[in-house]
Structure 1
Amino acid sequence: MNKFKVFLIVLVLISFKSFACLNGETKYLKNGERVYIDFRGLVPHGHNFTISDFPKLITELDRLYKKTKDIDYLSDKGYVLIVQKKYEEALKLYLYIEKIEPNRYSTASNIGTLYELTGENQKAYNWIKKSIEINPESHHGSEWLHLKILEAKIKDIKNVSGDFLTNNSFGKEAIPKTNLSNKQLKQFAQSLYFQVNERMSFIKPEDHIISVLLFELGNAVKIIGENQNAIQIYKKAKEYGFKDKIIDKRLNSHNEIRAGYGKIENQKKSESINNNKKLIFGFIISIIGGVVFIGLILFYAKSKNLKNT
């Protein structure tokens, strides 16, 4: 294989890697194994997990930990157990990690998540709060929303509202409104996306809290101007069990706006056709008028010549 072909192959591989990274958030383990790659944009689908051989991966992480004593390998093993939904086993492992090397952010965060998944919400709240204290910017600064979700569960609030979970309201009209700045709205949408996408990876429909968060995300995305994405998110909210009729108002308002745009476009097309017809008619009249004028001039000239002769 010549040098030019090698260069092309390397270039293609680099380009592919760059594209993969741009496609969405990607999680890699310490040993280089890719766990998931998410879809790009603000429409949550849950993580697209890419692990194919769990037993082999667990064995590899155990081997690397024994060889290096690097806690990251042990922590990654715990995450793989979570992906497999082996929550009790993962919890025991993370509690062991906390004992031998306390105050690691990933340990506190995963213990909190595991307690939530097993229904011990107060313990989950305490551990998530601890994880935020260790790393305030964790999970793209969205963990404040995680605490609100846990607060609602601890208080056992039935049919919890979006206002309570997000400390924000988009109103009750057909078109959502906000006092948030553009920057604040985008950050708000990112926080909602992260928390919802994470939950959708492990919790299938129906789930009231996820449905509410999806609805609020749809409102934010609609105001941002991504109307088609907002429709997808609203539909996911209904799939997860969002019952309030306001969601139909929001969906119908988009259809009405789109229909209105269609009418305007049709009216513009009709006006354009009529204007073109007028131009063509005017052009024809001008040509006829010109021909008649030239004919009159020629007739006059011919008549004058005949008189002179």
Structure 2
Amino acid sequence: MLRTIALLILTWPTFFTAIACYNETHINKNGKVTGRSEPFFGFYDSPDTARATAFIANHDLSKIHTYDVDTQSDLAVNFAYLGRYKEALTILRRLYKENPGNYNVVANLGTTYELTGKNDSALLFIKKSLAIDPESHAGSEWVHVKILEAKLNMAKDPNWLLKNSVLQTGVTAGSAISDDLVNKALDIEYQLKERVPFTPFPEAILANVFNELGDLLATQLSVEHAYIAYDFALQYGAVEQYGVQQKMDELKRMLRKEKIILPSWRAYYHNRQSEKNINDVVETVTKVVSENKDIVSGFYDQYKERQREKERIKRRNNLLIGGGAFLVAITGFFVWMRRKK
């Protein structure tokens, strides 16, 4: 038993990695069967600060100028993960002066400006990074641009979101399946995976974005994934201005008809600290098992011996009970024969 547990602990990450390449079959709201080769993205509730801390600790910051440009840029990114934006900007501004054509530097500078609320500068540098590499982030950076433009529009008009779609994908309730809309849905998922850890609930722009993603998924790919996207829209504050609850109720009927268990945003929103605690437990148990193989093996052998002893006792008891019953039957037979005579 212990050997089995140890094997499961050691192999469960590999198992989840392996199934990531399976093809999934889904259905859109028009009843058309669709498919995708990757599952719906899961989102973290915060950046990976533990990893960022470890990365910075592994470098000598007093000699930061001796590292190559990409390593210095990565250090800036990890400072940003920790909320140390001033330090990140100091590095990235200097690197930009020295390397204005380096995509990583330009894009990271734009993102850091956004995290500090300087959306005009952020948009400027994200557009510059797109000019350097239009296919960066799997060609999904158009989503980043649209979100920054929406932030600037909202600064001018606080009611802008009530009348506008952030991403302006053109999807409607009756949109037919098209490669363009499918790709837009996948681009949005990609960008949200990076953005959600920095965006706690509620947040009006992401409520709008998740609502539009739901419309895309419902018409193009999957009512199940659309339901999750709408659920996230509600968490981000999309109360009734987009009719999200009504859309979910419509999909709920279809999901039940297709015998699909109703999904929830909670299953796709991972708590970084909880995951760390689980990983720590797995790592500790794995270490104990690997460092005490003889002890674990001894416990296992003792367990097996106890099981064998139980089986021996069970067989002996069965023989005794069976033999006793046989003797009673024979005795009864002879008593019956004597009375018959």
Q: 1:55 to 1:116 in 2, by over 3 A?
A: closer
Q: Distance in 1 between matches of 2:115 and 2:205?
A: 14
Q: 1:63 to 1:111 in 2, by over 3 A?
A: closer
Q: Report the number of matched residues.
A: 230
- SS in structure 2 opposite 1:90? helix
Question: Which letter maps to 2:216?
Answer: A
**2:209 is the counterpart of 1:213:** yes
CA contact (8 A) 1:94 1:111 kept: yes
Q: Distance in 2 between matches of 1:201 and 1:54?
A: 14
Give runs of aligned pairs for residues 47-86 of structure 1, distance below 5 A.
52=50, 54-62=52-60, 69-86=67-84
Partner of 2:171: 170
Q: 1:52 to 1:167 in 2, by over 3 A?
A: closer
Give runs of aligned pairs for residues 101-140 of structure 1, distance below 5 A.
101-140=99-138
Partner of 2:304: none
Partner of 2:247: 250
Following superposition, the deviation at residue 223 of structure 1 comes to: 2.0
Deviations 1:74-120, CA, capped at 9 Å, x for gaps: 11111111111111211111111112322211111111111111111
Partner of 1:273: none
**2:196 is the counterpart of 1:195:** no
Q: 1:261 to 1:94 in 2, by over 3 A?
A: closer
1:185 to 181, 185, 190: 181
Q: Distance in 2 between matches of 1:148 and 1:42?
A: 22
- SS in structure 2 opposite 1:166? coil
Deviations 1:14-61, CA, capped at 9 Å, x for gaps: x939927948xxxxxxxxxxxxxxxx6334514775563644421323
Q: 1:129 to 1:187 in 2, by over 3 A?
A: same
Q: Distance in 2 between matches of 1:117 and 1:151?
A: 15
Q: 1:65 to 1:88 in 2, by over 3 A?
A: same
Following superposition, the deviation at residue 64 of structure 1 comes to: 11
- SS in structure 1 opposite 2:43? coil
Q: 1:84 to 1:167 in 2, by over 3 A?
A: same
Q: Distance in 1 between matches of 2:184 and 2:77?
A: 27
Q: 1:113 to 1:232 in 2, by over 3 A?
A: same
Question: Which letter maps to 2:184?
Answer: F
Q: 1:246 to 1:18 in 2, by over 3 A?
A: closer
Q: Distance in 2 between matches of 1:118 and 1:72?
A: 22
Q: Distance in 2 between matches of 1:253 and 1:105?
A: 44
- SS in structure 2 opposite 1:52? helix
Q: 1:101 to 1:191 in 2, by over 3 A?
A: same
CA contact (8 A) 2:119 2:151 kept: yes
Instruction: Provide TM-score, normalisation by structure 1.
Output: 0.65
Q: 1:49 to 1:203 in 2, by over 3 A?
A: closer
Question: Which letter maps to 2:101?
Answer: N
- The structure with the larger Rg is 1
- SS in structure 2 opposite 1:186? helix
Q: Distance in 2 between matches of 1:20 and 1:66?
A: 38
**Between 84-93 and 152-161, the greater mean CA deviation after superposition:** 152-161
Instruction: Provide TM-score, normalisation by structure 2.
Output: 0.59
Q: 1:152 to 1:63 in 2, by over 3 A?
A: closer
Following superposition, the deviation at residue 245 of structure 1 comes to: 5.0
Partner of 1:223: 219
Q: Distance in 2 between matches of 1:198 and 1:241?
A: 20
**Between 54-63 and 250-259, the greater mean CA deviation after superposition:** 54-63
Partner of 2:148: 150
CA contact (8 A) 1:170 1:219 kept: yes
- SS in structure 2 opposite 1:213? helix
Q: 1:80 to 1:46 in 2, by over 3 A?
A: same
> C-alpha root-mean-square deviation of aligned residues, in Å?
3.2
Q: 1:248 to 1:170 in 2, by over 3 A?
A: farther
Q: Distance in 2 between matches of 1:21 and 1:97?
A: 40
Unaligned runs of 5+ in 2: 1-6, 22-37, 260-341
1:93 to 88, 91, 94: 91
Following superposition, the deviation at residue 205 of structure 1 comes to: 0.7
Question: Which letter maps to 2:43?
Answer: H
